[in-house]
Structures are given as C-alpha cells and as structure tokens.
Amino acid sequence: MTDHWAAAIASAEAALRGDASARARASTSVLRLTADAQPPLRPGLGRDVARLTAMLEALGLAEESQALLRHVVSRLVWDPRSISLSTDVRNELAVSLADRGHIPAAGTLLATAAAFSARDEGEGVAGARTLANLAAVKFRLGDLDGAQVDAGRALGAGATDGSLLHRLQIRLLAHAVLAEVARHHGRDTEADELVHKIADSGRQLVRLLGGDHPASLSALVTLARAEFGSARAAADHERQERAVDVLAVAAQKTAATLGSRHPLSHSALVNLATSEFEAAQASGDEARLDGARAMMLAVSQRPEGEPRIVAEPSPAAVPSPYDADAERQATDVRLLDRPSSTVAPGPEPVDEAASLRFGVLGPVRIWRAEEPPAGPLAAGSPQQRALLAVLLLRGGRTAGVAELLDAIWGESPPARPVATIRTYAARLRRVLARGMLVTESGGYALHRC
Amino acid sequence: MTSAGCWVELHQAERRLGGGFLLTRRYVLTALHCLRELTSLDDSVDIVLADGRRVLGRVCQRDKDADLALVMISTAYDVKLPVLRAGIAHGGDDWHGPYRPAAVEAHLRGQVDRGTADYLCEGGAVIQALQLTAHQLLGDYSGYSGGPVVKGTPDDREPLVVGILLEQAPDRATPRRAANVLFAATIGEAMRRFDQFDVEHLMDAVHPASSMSPRDGKGDESNIDEAAETAEAWFARIEEWSQRGVLDPSRIAELKFVAAKTAIERRPHGDRL
C-alpha cells in the first residue's frame, strides 16, 4: 500500500471512531492518491478500494468516494498495465464499481477476467464467479440473452474448489439473473422454480454467516423481490403485500446495520420502492400510488455522491469474450451490415465494416479480419482507446459527453475536454468504417453498420 | 420529507401510555416501560399518528432486558404517513427528538456524545446505545421515552432515525434530578432484539420453508458462529462486504426500477400509469 492509500484508510477509520480532525485528513489523502497517475497494481487493491469507498460514504465524503472510483476507472480499467491484475482483483474492483453505478467499467474488467479465467485457470470458482458477475452486469445493461448465457455457464462451470460460501454466492447471483430473465420472457413456471433455488441458497448463506452479515441481508432482499415477482405473475395480492412488508423491514435493517449511505442500503431501498410501486399499481389505490411515485422519485434523487443508478433498459449488449477466436481470447464485436445513413465524413475510412474486429481485453485494439492476419490498426492514445472502449461497451447506444468525460478522465479532464473528445472521434473515424461512429443526441455512438 | 410525522403516541382507552415511532408501516417501536400500565391480558393499544388519525395495534413482543417493545399495526388499517429511514449516528452528530409528551413540552435537541457503544441498561442487558447530550436542561426527561432519536436538525432534507430514547443519567450532585445526558438504543440493536426482524424468519415469512426445494450441501460448513455484536461490528461488516468477489444480487432489480422511474417521469400530468 502506498502512503496515500494507507493514510486515507487510517484517517477515514479514525474519523469514524470519533476523531473529528481525521475527516479532513481523509479527504486530503484521497485527493493526493487520485493525483497519482500510475496507481500501484497490487493484490490488495480491490479490497482497499472497497473499504475506503465504504468508509468515505459513511463519513459523508461522497464526492471523495466518487473521485476515488473515477480515478480507478480512468487509471486502471483502461490502462494497459492493468493486464497484470489478477482475476480476483478484477472481480473485486468490478464489484465496487458496479455497486456504485460504473457498469461499463465493471463490464470491461469482467470481460477481461473471463477471458483470462478460461485461458489460464480453467473455469473453477474463479471462472464461475467472473461469469456470474458478467451475467449480472449484462442484465443491468439490458442484455438479457447474454446474461442468461453467462449465468448458465457460471452454474455449469462445475466449480468444486473454493468454499461453500463462494459457491452459494455464485449460485444465488446466477439464479437471481436467470429468474429475472425467465420472468421477463413470461416463463413463469421456470422463474418460480428459480425462486425456490434463490431461497435455498439464501437460507444456507444465513445459516453460514448469521443474519446481520451483509451477504445475508442482500440474500433476503433478493429473495423478497423474486417472491414479489412470482406473486405478481400469479396476481396474488396478499403475497405481494407480504413481500413488500419484508422488503420494508429489510431496507430498515440494512440501513441500521451498514448505514443509510451504503450501496446495499440503497439497493434495498430501490427494491422496496419498485415493489411498492408495482403493488400500488395493482391495488388501484390512487393515494397509495401517488405515495409510491413519490418514493420512486425520492430514491432516484439521492443526495449528490450517493450510489448512482446509471443502467438503462436497453437491448444493448456487453460484448462477450467467448465470441472471440481462441487465439486472441479477445472480445469480438461482429459488425453487421447496415445502411450508412448517418455518415460522418472522414479521410480514408476502411471499406468494409464487417472486416473490423475489436479487442477490449487489455489495451483496446482494432484489427482487420484478413488473411494472413496483420497487426492491429492505430487506435491512438490511451484516452482515444478509452473512448473507443466505452462506445463498444454501449453496444450501439449513445454515450453522452458527460459519461465520456467521466470514463476517460475522471476528475482530471484537460482544459477543453469536449473539443478533445471531438478530436479523438475524428481520428477514430479515420480508421473505422464510414458511418460507424456517429454523433447523435449530444453524444457519440458506434453503430453496427 | 421531514421528521415531523414519524412519531406516534400509544393509548389504551383514553389513557396515554407513551411515545413511539413507525419503524415500517406495520411496526411501531416503543420503550417497554411505556407500557407498564397496560394490563398483561390485553395487548391491544390505540396508536395515534402524528397526523391525528388513530389505528389499532397489538403488542407483539416485549424485551424486558433491553426495555423495548414492538407493536404491530392492525392490517385493517393502512398508514399513509412516510416512514423515516433508519441510519447510524456517530459522535459529534446533531440529533433531535420530534416526539414530545405534550404540546407544552420542549422539543429536545442536542449532540451525539458517543456513537454506537455498549451500555448496561436498567433492564440488565448490555445493549448497543447512543449517549446523547440535550441542550434543554429540564431536570427530568420522563415522558420522552420511546420517542425517536433523529440524526441532524429538524430542517434537514433527509432525516434518519438512529435510536429510541430509553434512559436518562442522574445528576451526580443532585441525584433526584436528571443530568442532560440521555441514552438511546440504536435501531440496529432494537431490530436484533425481535424475531420479527430476524433474517431467517423473514425468509420463512416471504417464502415458507415448506415450499422450498430440498437443501443440498446441508450443514457442511454451518458451524461458523455468528459474529459477536460489539461496538466494532460496523467495521467488521464493512470488512466483510469489502471481501466479496461477487456482485450484490439485490441489484438485479435496478433495471425494473429505472424502467418504472422513466415511466413515472414521462407520465402526462394527472394521468394514472
């Protein structure tokens, strides 16, 4: 641990133990460590990020917590040096990022980890954990089919190594994803069977860890929400109300145990608000529905710096690393033919979009799919490659300028960031197919031409 | 939301018993000694909400050692008032008590002297409690028991209920008077005390065990003891959460939340979804 990391963690802990002066020291230490252009890539990094962000949030230092995460995104996720991070660290970092709404960055870390697990470690618990995480990220990005495939692979990985705790956590997450996908597609019988399995894993987790453990509280919220979905499909209002009551208790218990600013507390509240809103719709009680709407909006307008919800319902996909050719173990976004109606002019574009292949594992690269294979095309500076990676992970949807600024530079943008992004986009258009990189709705999108 | 509407007053017939507050729409938390005039054969109470409405409740569990009681609101009634979120207080935080025993009594405000710490309460239990200083020097704070301790000032945009007032410290120079030091059980402590909030019980309630698939891997690692609850528990929980390598499955609901929120925001004014 470098001095700034150690100092930030020690100060945050001291502040939480009542040392009033330590809060300012924690804030200063975080600002210093985020100024480090090359953060140390070490085994404990994932846990330090998780601990420090949680403590900063509990102290009300939400801006510092978000700055730390933006630093991780801008300096680690897109940094070619991060290829040396272990699968465990990638998963831990992805968890911290996904907890706080940085879904595309979490997806990039996990896609890389999935490829490494498949290549180097076999599937085992590490591979199963990565696949389950990737399934959850894909689900949150709206790629239901991709989520189903990865959740199925996580369960089928035959992981027998690792502890029962790890296996239970993987099963719970994978079954939760599969249940939601099945429910979404109207396969209610299958979804109900999966709810039984969620209950089974959740109950074992509670016996293993005790009721106040965060993983047990998370399992309770997950089960209550899944049960609500089952009751709703069966039009069973009594069961719906019971599930809402349990979610209300779970939300209070989580906030009383971990603090109201903890990501799990926020998630419990999201589950409660969503279920209460759906129950109110079913009840026909207009006053209750008004209250539920107010709760939904209040939850979505948490004070600045609390965990953000940035996932948007959309059919877009996180690229799957298993579409890659075995040689490169790289993510392969296959580009389909599409009329280039929104052509952005650029010199010397390649003729066939379908001939391009992208790698977002490690350094972001572009190849022409040709025989014999040639070297990668020039994808530009690390920031320019970061722009390309963000757009690839959006799967064709528009990425707003604010999101791009956040993903590429975090808290340290250059003097004219919007103009700089425009320059990167222009340079990328020179190597991409005509009409692939389009400007729309105040942002950029990479179309599958 | 403000903290003004979160408290309740408990009555039996026309006799005032004491204060309490809504923990959820179904449950009211109060100090057990507030219910001492309640006949043991009759667990029914009237709950007067802050908006003046009355609902029927039943004392469903008592914890003599920690001096806490839980009242369940009859399902025949539906509480419309918003319920304050729970939270955790740290030393140095402001606090206030929105409940007062009568309109002529003072609103209590002050500072949290010590965040969550062990405290031997009158009932004999060692509980997780907050030590509070009240700015108002009343000499006697009886009547405020059972009321909520709310973090921050009454003007805060997002009040959090962090404790339940239970005891006052005697003035050592004049023992018949109370010093302005009060003790409140934390919400986490109160929730741990009642079966209704036990996670396994809640799992049973929401998904009865009889409908579950047979368990696999039964008990092969189930001998890990629940961590002892100490003042260090919060740090232990954060450490446990930090060691995960698996995403929080409860976040799966986020996709539907965003869809519903978007539908609400796009709703033409006055139309029902």
Confidence of residue A168 (pLDDT cuts 50, 70, 90): very high
* pTM, full prediction: 0.77
* pLDDT the model gives residue A415: 66
Confidence of residue A100 (pLDDT cuts 50, 70, 90): confident
> Is the pLDDT assigned to residue A332 strictly greater than 70?
no
Q: Would an 8 Å CB–CB cutoff place A296 in contact with chain B?
A: yes
- What is the rounded CA–CA span in Å between residue A387 and residue A317? 17
- How large is the ipTM? 0.90
Contact: B240, A215; criterion CB under 8 Å: yes
Across the interface, of A133, A245, A274, the residue whose CB is closest to B253 is: A274
* pLDDT the model gives residue B80: 72
A226-285: per-residue pLDDT in tens?
A: 999 999 999 999 999 999 999 999 999 999 999 998 899 999 999 999 999 999 998 888
Q: Output A196 or A443, whichever has higher pLDDT.
A: A196
Closest CA to B39 of B72, B20, B12: B12
> Is the pLDDT assigned to residue A3 strictly greater than 90?
no
B81-115: per-residue pLDDT in tens?
A: 778 999 999 888 999 999 999 989 999 999 999 88
Residues 137-196 of B with CB under 8 A from A: 157-158, 160, 186-188, 191-192, 196
Q: Output A241 or A160, whichever has higher pLDDT.
A: A241
Q: What's phi and psi for A204, nearest 5 deg?
A: -65, -40
Confidence of residue B127 (pLDDT cuts 50, 70, 90): very high
Using a CB-CB cut-off of 8 Å, the residues of chain A touching B115 are 18
A343-394: per-residue pLDDT in tens?
A: 233 333 334 455 666 665 445 667 665 555 566 676 777 677 778 877 877 7
Q: Output the CA–CA distances (angstroms, integers) from residue A326 to A138, A318, B51, B263, in the order listed.
A: 22, 19, 67, 43
> Is the pLDDT assigned to residue B78 strictly greater than 70?
no
* pLDDT the model gives residue A121: 54
- What is the rounded CA–CA span in Å between residue A250 and residue A223? 11
A25-71: per-residue pLDDT in tens?
A: 999 999 888 887 777 777 788 889 999 998 998 888 988 998 998 88
* pLDDT the model gives residue A315: 31
Contact: A270, B254; criterion CB under 8 Å: yes
Highest-scoring range by mean pLDDT, A136-150, A321-335, A367-381: A136-150
Least confident interval from A129-133, A247-251, A301-305, B26-30:
A301-305
Confidence of residue A118 (pLDDT cuts 50, 70, 90): low
Q: What is the distance in angstroms between the Cα of B187 and the nearest Cα belonging to chain A? A: 6
> Is the pLDDT assigned to residue A333 strictly greater than 70?
no
Q: What is the separation of C-alpha A420 from the centre of its chain, rounded to a whole number of angstroms?
A: 26
Using a CB-CB cut-off of 8 Å, the residues of chain B touching A267 are 248, 250-251, 253-254
Q: Output B260 or A430, whichever has higher pLDDT.
A: B260
* pLDDT the model gives residue B210: 58
* pLDDT the model gives residue A192: 97
Q: What is the distance in angstroms between the Cα of A244 and the nearest Cα belonging to chain B? A: 9
* pLDDT the model gives residue B266: 79
Least confident interval from A158-167, A187-196, A340-349:
A340-349
Contact residues for A159 (Cβ-Cβ < 8 A; gap 6+)? A123, A124, A125, A127, A128, A166, A167, A170
Contact: A252, B24; criterion CB under 8 Å: yes
Q: Would an 8 Å CB–CB cutoff place B26 in contact with chain A?
A: yes
Across the interface, of B26, B225, B250, the residue whose CB is closest to A267 is: B250
User: Which residue matches tokens 């990737």?
Assistant: A134
Using a CB-CB cut-off of 8 Å, the residues of chain B touching A102 are none
Q: What's phi and psi for A185, nearest 5 deg?
A: -90, 5
B140-192: per-residue pLDDT in tens?
A: 998 999 999 999 988 888 899 999 999 999 988 888 899 999 999 999 999 99
The strand pair at B160-170 and B108-120 is best described as: unpaired
Across the interface, of B203, B241, B264, the residue whose CB is closest to A214 is: B241
CB A263 within 8 A of CB A64: no
* pLDDT the model gives residue B236: 81
Q: Output B210 or B80, whichever has higher pLDDT.
A: B80
Strands (E), chain B: 7-12, 15-22, 27-31, 44-49, 54-63, 68-73, 85-86, 94-97, 108-120, 126-134, 148-151, 160-170, 178-186
Positive or negative CA dihedral for A210, A215, A218, A219?
A: negative
Residues 337-366 of A with CB under 8 A from B: none
Q: Output B240 or A324, whichever has higher pLDDT.
A: B240
Radius of gyration of chain B (CA): 21
* pLDDT the model gives residue A112: 80
Q: What's phi and psi for A283, nearest 5 deg?
A: -75, -25
Using a CB-CB cut-off of 8 Å, the residues of chain B touching A161 are none
Nearest CA in chain A to B234: A258
Across the interface, of A133, A202, A260, the residue whose CB is closest to B87 is: A260
Contact: A267, B217; criterion CB under 8 Å: no
